[in-house]
A = this chain, B = another copy of it.
């Protein structure tokens, strides 16, 4: 049985809490948060504290707070030489105070409060200062995911950067698509099958194999028409930049 305490209860930690709580190999001893949390059934009985001095003894402490608070918060913990991990993609392991044994438990996924997530296929990126702790994190990860991978802080930084491109920036393109339709009184729903297929394609094709469209085939007339339609929209620059890069990539001059 791995005894876990959650430190902070934002998006990532509350999703981790929900899924780890279902595992018979994990015992969640406590949740610490600066502000009171109201747990819904069936979690009413999980001990809660907002007092950093009352954090109980556990095998793994999982910090889920903003990146720039990790350093000072981990330094302020009253205990020493315990396994303390954070869940951030962007912060290095040595962001954590060295008074405890440091580690990473980073689920590579986008979490929203409103959405349940199945952890089974989510890569859990782990890192630790010593082999025993790494083994504990691997064991903990395997209780929820079939995809536990050891990744260094350096590589994880790049992974997080790539995640911003395929998640935050992709989602912004969905927003732009929705805005363009909205101006015409057309529903966003029209784009949903295309969005689903675009994501689905790369399960079996490489993005290069999946790519189509006017920029790839250097269809100048369509590109000009689109730039004309965009007029002085804030998205013109983005359209031009993508088109330029796609043209360069697929070897045709604009």
Contacts and interface: CB of A to CB of B under 8 A. Distances in A.
Contacts of A147: 193
Interface stretch (A55-63, A76-84, A162-170): A162-170
Contacts of A241: 237-238, 241
Nearest to A204: B115
A73 interface: no
B178 A207 contact: yes
Given A213-B168, A241-B241, A201 B110 contact: yes
A73 B206 CA distance: 34
A22 interface: no
A108 B194 contact: yes
Given A186-B155, A193-B123, A180 B165 contact: yes
Copies in the complex: 2
Contacts of A213: 164, 167-168
Contact of A67 (B112, B203, B222): B222
A250 to B, nearest CB: 10
A173 B246 CA distance: 11
A112 B191 contact: no
A230 B161 contact: yes
Contact of A173 (B165, B180, B183, B225): B165
Contacts of A108: 190-191, 193-194
Interface string A159-199: 11111111111111111111011011010101111111111
A38 interface: no
11 contacts: A66-B219, A90-B214, A121-B193, A149-B190, A157-B229, A161-B226, A166-B194, A169-B173, A169-B242, A172-B245, A234-B248
Interface of A: 11, 66-68, 90, 108-112, 114-115, 117, 121-123, 147, 149, 151, 154-155, 157-178, 180-181, 183-184, 186, 188, 190-216, 219, 221-222, 225-226, 229-230, 234-235, 237-239, 241-242, 245-246, 248-249
